[in-house]
Structure 1
Amino acid sequence: MNFLHVASVCPSLTLAHPLKNAAHLKELLPRLEEDGIQAAVFPELCLTGYTCGDLFFQERLLDETLKALNLIVLASEGTSLFFVVGAPLRVSSNLYNCAIAIQNGRILGAVPKTILPNTGEFYEKRWFAGASEAKDRSSILLLGQTVPFGCLLFEATEAVFGLEVCEDLWAPVQPSQHLALHGAQVIFNPSASNELAGKADYRRSLVVGQSARLNAGYVYASSGVGESTTDLLFSGHLLIAEGGRLLKENKRFSRESEWISAWIDVDRLTTERGQNEGFHSAKALGLLSSSVPQRIPITLAPADLERFDQPVGPFPFVPQADEARKERCEDIFTIQSHALARRLNASHAQKLVLGISGGLDSTLALLAGVRALDLLGIARKNLLTVTLPGFGTSERTRANAIALCEALGTSFREISIAPSVLQHFKDIGHDPKVQDVTYENAQARERTQILFDLANQEGALVLGTGDLSELALGFATYNGDQMSSYGINASIPKTLVRYLVEHAAQEDARLAPILRDILATPVSPELIPQTSEGSMSQKTEELIGPYELHDFFLYHLLRYGADPQKLRFLAAQAFGERYSEEVIGHWLQLFLKRFFANQFKRSAMPDGPKVGSIALSPRGDWRMPSDAPSEAWLRE
């Protein structure tokens, strides 16, 4: 489990007063370390201020900068905090705008800015030389130390860091691309970006977008309001992003020193890169620059996970914002219906057969099925919905199934499976009083047989109802409800199924009462007779655990390759007091056992459309041997 605690810092600034600015920084360093920060970045030219103008030509300012830098280096002795400050450095006859990495009394390296803006309000080429003018130099003498200089990578056991400065991010080709292709997982950017109306949005999109393109962490710190306001205003914009997600942002325009911190999941980034063909292709296409970064080994303080305070969403498949959730639901219904319409065309079928139970999954399949027929201009009567009551069917689910089919205008049949299943028990010598796996699976297989035979009669496709959560857990009868002509819900987890049905209820007032009662019905296979009081004797989540936990495990296991220790940790963060660590551990063990044991069912799963980033099709996203053991994952 590899989390990195990083900070983006904007200290108070006194323009053109390096020693006073060093004092501000010195005050912040122990506070950052007390907060458990492992790595931090300060703004561009933070020792002098970015807006010194022609004062950068003054020897006094440059001499004072070296004194200030020395004070900061001395102040860092005995600490493990890795931090980056900005300062002008003279090398030979050139002045460079540099990002300087410091740790434990040492200057680890200095990286000159590559892209010097020189239009509009910017005219850096008046004072500074770009990194290209120092390409033949690999080190400089600075404060009595021989310091690596140029394109650098800082390598710790936990992560590899790279540095770029402000405008470097805004260029068509960025140094961070080169650094990432050479292994940098976290990019630190000391910046001085002035404020304009709307510019903060664009700046944010750059940082978040770059973290997505590079599958990297991106830590950005811009100069604050202490800069000169002769012509410009700076806001102290602080941003931390990871893999396309904005982890933390400040409110800007603070008149005091401030910082933000976040936890970057380095394991997650490593997994994402390993699955990103773009990284391998970029190297193969020769997109790596001919220059190879110098690698500087560093040692970081261990992450103090007792301080972990980053929100972890309990429902990773479901967008939190209402508008985003609505848009996601519409996208999924569109994918489902268009995929099914294409399959109907390809098979020259005009009809569908669907077993409707009054539960969530068959409800979602029905809603997608009628949309597909509407797309093709085929009458809804061509969707034959069949309720197949058995020994455990409740009146509530049966009534909801019938009401929904009537409201949607589909054809409908009711066929009791009890007589044929009892005959089957007699044929194989099974006592109906023994309500074991044979008792349950015989019902599921009888239903599937009837549906396929009806499909043969009608020249139709059997529409599958099983969802992603059931596929992961193997909670389906092999050659029973596991099989269909087309698995319309195959990549939709149970937690998202609920939101899709709720979305349909919000969009259609006529269906809303039926759909909301279906949503309120406990999830159950209804294969065991009801209790003497007439209530369900089988509730799925009492048998196999909460679907919200299983969907959480599934997402982080498949999307980011999280190991069991990390799954437990993240689940504890996400669900808080809702589940104890013991309960989380219990259901995680069950999830892992079932996930491995039931791959054989997924290896024979029917076709179905992928709607999100996680899917279990053996022809696409998940190619796993059916006989792989789970022991390594179950061992703590």
Structure 2
Amino acid sequence: MGRKVTLATCSLNQWALDFEGNLQRILESIRIAKEKGARYRLGPELEICGYGCSDHYFESDTILHSFQVLTKLLESPVTSDIICDVGMPVMHKNVRYNCRVIFLNKKILLIRPKMVMANAGNYRELRWFTPWNKSREIEEHFLPRTIQEITGQDTVPFGDAVLATKDTCLGSEICEELWAPNSPHIDMGLDGVEIFTNGSGSHHELRKAHLRVDLVRSTTTKNGGIYLLSNLRGCDSDRLYFDGCSMISINGDIVVQGSQFSLENVEVLTATLDLEDVRSYRAHTSSRCISASRVPPFHRVHVDFSLSSFDDVYTPTSEPIQWKYHTPAEEISLGPACWLWDYLRRSKQGGFLLPLSGGVDSSAVACIVYSMCRLVCQAVDAGNKEVLRDVRQLVGDDMYVPKMPQELCRRLLTTCYMATENSSKETRERAKTLSEQIGSYHMTPNIDTAVRAVIGIFTMVTGKVPQFRVHGGSGPENLALQNVQARIRMVIAYLFAQLSLWSRGLPGGLLVLGSANVDESLRGYLTKYDCSSADINPIGGISKTDLRGFIQYCIDNFQLTALASILSAPPTAELEPLTDGQVSQTDEDDMGMTYDELSVYGKLRKVVKTGPYSMFCKLLLMWKEISPRQVRKVNLYQIYVLQWTFVLVQSTFIPPTPIFPH
């Protein structure tokens, strides 16, 4: 009797509601899996319709089209003689579920609904789906007539069950269930399930890969078994980036690692593993055997199919590997770059426009676009025809082949330094030098005329002439004069984004890139409708500390020497008059705290979930070298955050200026 099984998992770049494209990518992954000898193929969560359908899940034709895709899959000869596990929404007894549909040779074996919903942070699954709350129970699901005609089945099992093939037993989890404290794999493993599968839609966050890998390894360290994780890739029409990282684990060891950041639309991983390794690993642990003898059984759907072959003694098995992690700086370089590429090619715009100030934040965004161009050139060099087709469509040239990232960057990125009388020569030169090194199309308009015109309207109506503080003006005057510059930059940025390609005789428009980091957003240190306003913001979830590490990474790896002076310069908005030609205003002085402190506050607030008092107590231990009175500035930070949150949620009153005091 056979004991070695070859299993396949995959990362797919699926698009919301792109049913035809999603179908082709699913078929391609199944074809590759079969070529590699796999007898079971796992796909990511909701791969048929795309995860990011949002309120389109409420529309009945989303489920109708999903079943139409399932019809094509069942009919295709590509899906013969391999168990296929696909994700799609299913309506059962007038309730919408997020499901796995598992089929073999034109027969649906099981529809397994998701039992634990992701409904925190970036996820709102309870808005669209209902969790299956009947543990270890199944019901009969009546299939649509189009499916009945193909499968010859009127009904199929629907619910919490496992598959029993001739040689092993498989059980499904769906994304969030792996992260839950009472994950289904615990009891499934005790009941003899040897292969666990998880079709996932897990988004990218800095350092999240460590947690994801630890979770997968831990599932099979205590309980033994084989675990397959399949994850989405790409932006899927939303602000999230799904970062792949599909993997296969056995008995606590990772044996196959998928790429975390890639422009490939289809990636298939396979591993050949010995079921006897699972059985001996489990039998060796007495406490597990005692627990297994007491666990209530799962309903088993019997499948007349084997994952192993009879004569596999000499078949080599996959060996454990050491997972290779990206550093946070590498993650910033690759993750947002892949997301920008997906966003750009799906929007079918002509590129990006970035207000480049010569500071760390906007320079980091410029470097991310440059990294995107590097990835595109590498993909084209490697023979990726889909990437080449998308590049040609974006630049409007059917013969274009990108060779150098600087050359591609000039076509896709327009940078704009919007100078005023308060801008220093140093920041202007830094922006210009960086644009030359990355290759962007750079402009340097002076916006003083527009600023004076807006202030002139106020003076004409009121008869008052506001002054900066250094010229004897009050706090409100000083703040208003700063904010009018910032907001005019936003207006001009959108004007140039819409018309700069037209002015150069090129088609299309540009997407405006924002450059507000997460620390400033949490603190409320920004002018609304300036850097906080853009089409997309690649660094909106990244702290200033991590961005500075990324800038150093770009200096070391991209040879962008212009970044050295940007990194060493004090952060400044340059909205107040210069003193002897030099910057007199700095961000940290305005905020009353450093960016390093802000990063610590942000982590304690958003990750550790502390309030003012708890944060104060933790900082007393972290910052033993300073006095408790100095640590008290944390209370000031929390007050600013609460005020800023209040401002953002009001529907009837939005103050015209930021609330940080000067």
Shorter-chain TM-score: which interval? 0.3 to 0.5
- TM-score computed with the length of structure 1 as normaliser: 0.46
* Greater C-alpha Rg: 1
- TM-score computed with the length of structure 2 as normaliser: 0.45
